[in-house]
Amino acid sequence: MWEPVWRAFVLVLALWASAATARAQEVCEETIARYSVRRDGPDGFRVEAQFNRPVSRLDLFYHSPPGRPEGQAASIRNLRAFSARGREVAINYVGEGGWEVPGPDPAWRIAYRIQADHDAVDWTVGAPGKDEVATRFDRTFYFAAHAFFLADFDWPECKIEIVFNLPSGWFVTAPWSMRGNVAWTYGVQNFERNAFAMGLDTPRRAHTGGLDLEWLIDSRARAVEPRVLELMNAIPVAYTEFWERAPSRRLTAFFLRDARSDGGAFENSFTLVLPDPLAAIDQVSWSHTLGHELMHVWFGPEGIRGDAGGELSWFNEGFADYLTIKLMRRAGLISEDLMAQRVANIIRRYELGKRMSPDISLAAAGGDKLRNWQLIYGGGALVALLLDAELSMQHPEGFRDMMRSLAPISGSAFDLNSLTSQMNESTAGLARRTLAWVDARPSAGEIRARLARSGVEVSLYGPDEVYVGFAPCPALSCAPAFLAGPSPSPSN
């Protein structure tokens, strides 16, 4: 019964792929590291790696949830390192997911066991969620690669190979190029910042228009497959049209179940976690989460590059959230009423963020994302909303043109000053002034008055009660047209 929908899905992704512009980067064909992975008992894997240059420091990406201060590193067992002559050398854990070789003789080979015990930990507290670490579902082991493979984060953009020596009947679902049981990629970023899975569950696969697509869905989430396909059918087209580029010619997706909805975006893969038990009303939230995480794929796995210390989190999260609302409406995936509710949520989050994170700028708030969540998401999205509203009064696609000028897919490196300077070039200084205005903590009345000029009518009562409507306006410069263009047919 899924075949017609699946063909439509493949056709749309083929069009997406044909519009893609590959990210330009210099790579070297030298195989800088070769990993082998094999099954090691019912709850583990054995990993061995050989390096083509000496290694003195190896890392995992690091989270520290309550009850497990060493996070993912606690799952690494029996790590051994060897010199160029094959002699075993010391390698010591130095904290926060890092190991170092203390002596003058560096490592050229390592071996370790990874215990698949991650589901014993609640990764939603003090960490971003299991989608960023590891879990099991059905007959499959899912991992974020940076929780599985020890690597030198300073490696150049050279080739990395992974040989999977797994039991008969097992599948590897991964976004890397693959031939037989050997996968390869270029650069530690694409290697570590991706998700993959191993197990007996068969992924869906298609190759068309130059695009390799594969995905796995938890059997407990199959009820939402029609909506997932609808979203995946339309969202990539809307996002690629807006950005005028696609992020990759290869995409791998995972759809899991857990106690709450969540999602994680990687280099050219993403994961959506659906709430369990799943109710019909949950579609409102998880559909937005899917759109938001897919938008991060267009931004890149770390958003606009160069986000040292989280100073651009307000942009990477807030602008991604705002664009998700705008472009899902443009694609006809949400109704105008739901769009209005989501715009109200932006303002509500900001009002709550002002109280929960007082006396801190949006850029500084990114230093503690979990503590300043409301301010980062609400404040960043409010900056985007205001810019879109006011740029559209000058040109219907002024906001889109500003975003395209940032070219995140090309790997642009920004800090706070260079990002706002680039945004200022196409907005005559409006971008920096708007960020400063939001940082100055405008009152509810000031927000209401500023948005009213663009046809966004706001009613606020306290910090937690916000309602939004749209004034009639025939021009594309007023809401709801600037949010979504000409009104499409509504959906849920």
Domain of 87, CATH number, reads 2.60.40.3650
233 Cβ contact partners less than 8 Å away, ≥ 6 residues apart: 5, 8, 9, 12
Among 258, 276, 299, residue at a domain's last position: 299
- Residue 141, both tokens: 């082991």
**How high is the pLDDT of residue 28?**
83
Same domain, 62 and 202: yes
**pLDDT of residue 16 exceeding 50:** no
pLDDT at 239: 86
Of 425, 464, 424, 474, the closest CA to residue 444 belongs to 464
Q: Which helix (H) or strand (E) holds 32?
A: strand 28-39
Phi, then psi, of 393 in degrees rounded to 5: -70, -20
Is 279 a member of any domain?
Answer: yes
Over residues 459-475, the pLDDT tens digits come to 999 888 999 998 877 66
- What pLDDT was estimated at residue 129? 84
Q: Do both 63 and 143 map to the same domain?
A: yes
Query: Quick check: is 155 in a domain?
Result: yes
Return the percentage of the chain with pLDDT > 70, whole number. 85
Confidence band of 411 (pLDDT split at 50, 70, 90):
low
Is the model more confident about 301 or about 342? 342
| 491: in domain | no
Query: Which of 274, 299, 324 is the C-terminal boundary of a domain?
Result: 299
Region of poorest pLDDT, from 56-70, 185-199, 416-430, 467-481: 467-481
Three-state DSSP at 206 gives strand
- Which pLDDT value is given to residue 126? 65
Rg of the chain, C-alpha, whole Å: 23
Mean pLDDT of 437-448: 96
Tell whether 321 and 263 lie within a shared domain. no
Interatomic CA distance for residues 198 and 438, integer angstroms: 46
Instruction: Indicate whether 339 belongs to any domain.
Output: yes
The runs of H, that is alpha helices, within 187-335 are: 188-192, 225-243, 282-299, 313, 320-330
User: Residues of 269-300 as b/e, b for ≥16 C-beta within 10 angstroms?
Assistant: bbbbbbbeebeeebeeebbbbbbbbbbbbbbb
- Same domain flag for 253 and 324: no
Q: Which residues pair with 275 in a beta bridge?
A: 258
Q: Are 297 and 304 in contact (CB under 8 A)?
A: no
C-alpha 48/C-alpha 93 separation (Å) is 18
Considering the domain architecture, whether residues 24 and 93 belong to the same structural domain is answered as: yes
The reply to whether 337 and 455 lie within a common domain is: yes
Are residues 246 and 292 located together in one domain of the fold? yes
Q: Are 148 and 250 members of one domain?
A: yes
Q: What is the mean pLDDT of the chain?
A: 85
Q: Kindly provide the residue ranges of all beta strands, DSSP E only, lying in 348-474, ordered along the sequence.
A: 456-461, 465-470
For residues 261 and 325, state if they share a domain: no
* Ranges 26-30, 63-67, 72-76, 226-230: which has the least confidence: 26-30
- Which region among 15-24, 158-167, 438-447, 478-487 has the lowest average model confidence (pLDDT)? 15-24
- Asked if 429 and 347 sit in the same domain, the reply is yes
pLDDT at position 266: 86
Any domain includes 207:
yes
Once rounded to an integer, what is the mean pLDDT over residues 64-68? 87
Could you read off the pLDDT of 325-361 as tens digits, one per residue?
999 999 999 999 999 999 999 999 999 999 999 999 9
Residue of higher predicted confidence among 262 and 477: 262
The three-state (H, E, C) secondary structure of 272-286, written as one string:
EEEECCCCCCHHHHH
Q: Is residue 490 part of a domain?
A: no
Which percentage of the chain shows pLDDT scores above 90? 58
Task: Dig out the tokens for 340 from the structure.
Answer: 């209005």
Domain span at 103: 3-299
Query: Which pLDDT band, with edges at 50, 70 and 90, does 447 fall under?
Result: very high
> Averaging pLDDT over each range in 261-270, 407-416, 473-482, which range is the top one?
261-270
Looking at this protein, which amino acid is placed at residue 106?
P
Is residue 446, in this structure, part of any structural domain at all?
yes
Q: Are residues 331 and 216 located together in one domain of the fold?
A: no
Picking from 275, 299, 323, the residue at the C-terminal end of a domain is: 299
Residue 486: band (very low, low, confident or very high) from pLDDT cuts 50, 70, 90:
low
Q: Give residue-wise pLDDT tens across range 212-260.
A: 668 899 998 888 888 887 887 788 888 888 888 776 667 899 999 887 7
- Cα dihedral across residues 109, 178, 144, 240: positive or negative: positive
pLDDT given for residue 215 in this prediction: 85
Give me 222's structure tokens.
């199959």
Determine the pLDDT at residue 270.
Answer: 86
Mean pLDDT across 375-387: 97
More confidently predicted of 277 and 346: 346
- The values of phi and psi at residue 102, to 5°, are -75, -25
pLDDT band at 23 (very low <50, low <70, confident <90, very high): very low
Quickly state the pLDDT bin for 128 (edges 50, 70, 90). confident
Sheet holding 92-95, edge to edge: 57-59, 98-100, 92-95
Q: Can you state the angle between helices 398-406 and 416-425, rounded to 10 degrees? A: 140
State pLDDT tens for residues 3-14.
333 333 333 333
pLDDT of residue 2: 37
For tokens 């307000």, the residue is: 314
Helix (H) or strand (E) holding 17: helix 3-18
Give, in order, the Cα–Cα distances in Å from 182 to each of 39, 176, 478.
Answer: 15, 10, 53
Whether residue 266 is found in the same domain as residue 388: no
Residue 265 covered by a domain: yes
Domains in the chain, number = 2
CA 232 – CA 225 distance, rounded (Å): 10
Question: What pLDDT is stored for residue 226 in this prediction?
Answer: 83
3-state secondary structure 71-131: HHHHHEEEEEEECCCCCEECCEEEECCEEECCCCCCEEEEEEEEECCHHHCCCCCCCCCHH
Bigger pLDDT: 202 vs 233: 202
